[in-house]
Structure formats: structure tokens, C-alpha cells
Amino acid sequence: MPGFVTLLIRFGVTAMARRKPAHRTPGTKSPAPARSDSGTRGAGELRIIGGDWRSRKLKFPNAGGVRPTPARTRETLFNWLAFHLAGSDCLDLFAGSGALGLEALSRGAGHATLVDHTPALANALRTNLRLLKSESGEVVCNTVEHYLAQRQRPPFDIVFMDPPFRQGWLERLFPLLEAQGWVKPGGWVYVEHESELVTPAVPATWHLHRQKRAGQVTYSLFRVQAEGLSE
């Protein structure tokens, strides 16, 4: 009988040792549990906020430093353009996620050309246009400077420009847009830039129509003056 009791005691001690948590040095944290990969790692999501595709969510790769225009800013912009968007021909430079060009199509633009030099982003834009069953969008995988260097099509009604910050893009592109006649007289040019930057000089025919600041970003809408057209 004493031998049986001794056996039970040994069994209990062994079982408790197995259940005892691993010793931690005071002040240290337990390892974080591993997170399961949902399959969306490395991808971003864009939500269309108005028009025919309202609330549609679209995926885009986190490539090329893409920084989609926030929903609140888009809402303000398209309120500014509300009476000029229907049937318009739009150019989205540095298209990235397509936040501006796709939003314009959703709200009634007749056509949008989306330009981005990153192949992964250009492919995602084409995929999203197919998902939206849209034949009104064209994706161009090229640098913006090369695309604008020589105009081989009619000018646009609206041009969206949301370039990477702190790289001097606006100073280089404003003259190209003007010299090559990319914007129709009476058309519109929308620009985003860091608030710390004084807006570079614009062509003499561009007139500031609206401007607003959201945190570290300033966004401006210019009207390209046409003869006999008043603001």
C-alpha cells in the first residue's frame, strides 16, 4: 500500500509539471500569438463613395508608394465639379489606386484615362475596370512625363494630378500641360500637394477656382480660361 501511495504522488507531481506554464523572467512579455495570413497582406482597399458604383470596394497592391486621396477630400472635390462632370473626358495622372479616375467614372464622366508607371498598379486598374464592367476607362502604363511629352489625342475636360510629394513634379508638369494643350479651354485641373509647399506658378490662363487644406495636404482646383469665359 505505501508503494501505491508513493506512485500516486509521483504521478501527480509529473502531471502538475506538465501543466505548469513555462518560466518567464520578470518584466518580459509572452510571445505574441502568430497571426493568420488572410491573403490580403500587401494589398490596399479603395471604396468608391458616390455614383453608380457607390460603396464598391476594390483592391490594389501596395506598390509605388500609392497614397489614395481620402474619401472626405474626394467628396469635396466632386462637389466642386458636380455640374461639370457628366460626359466629361478625364485624365488621371499618377492614378495609383484609381481613387480619382474611377470615382469620376462612377459619377458620370464619359471617359477616363488613368496613367501610372508601376506595372502592378496598372494591372490592378485594368482588373478593377473589368470587375466594374466598365468600358469607359483606359489604363496607360507609362511615366507621366513621357505620356505628356507629345499629345496624340484631343485635350481633356478635367485633369487630376496627385503626384508623389517632395519630388518637384508640379514645377515640371504644369508647363507640359500648357505647352502641349492637354486641357480644353474652360476645362479644369485638380492638384494635390504638401501644405508646406507654396503652389508653383501656374500658366497665365489657369485661375484658382477653389482651394482647401486637410492636415498636411493642400488641394486646389484651377479653371483654364477660355476667351469670353468668365469665372
Q: 70-94 pLDDT, tens per residue?
A: 999 999 999 999 999 999 999 999 9
CA–CA separation, 27 vs 2, rounded Å? 44
* Helix or strand (DSSP H, E) at 217: strand 217-224
For the entire predicted model, the pTM comes to 0.79
CA angle in degrees (0–180, nearest 5) for 218-224-228: 140
**Which DSSP string corresponds to 182-196?**
-EEEEEEEEEEEETT
Residue located via cell numbers 458620370 = 108
In sequence order, the 6+-apart residues with CB closer than 8 A to the CB of 207 are 222, 223, 225, 231
118: confidence class by pLDDT, cuts 50, 70, 90: very high
Q: What is the pLDDT of residue 228?
A: 52
pLDDT of residue 7: 38
pLDDT, residue 32, reads: 36
Structure confidence by residue, pLDDT tens digits, 150-205? 898 999 999 999 998 888 899 999 999 999 999 999 999 999 988 887 777 899 99
For the chain, give every domain's residue range: 43-224
Span 53-66, pLDDT tens digits? 999 999 999 876 78
Residue 102 pLDDT exceeds 70: yes
Going by C-alpha positions, the residue among 227, 193, 221, 197 that lies closest to residue 207 is: 221
For residue 37, what pLDDT is reported?
29
pLDDT of 128 strictly over 80: yes
SS3 content of the chain, % helix, strand, coil (to 5): 30, 25, 45
CATH of domain 43-224: 3.40.50.150
Mean pLDDT of the chain: 83
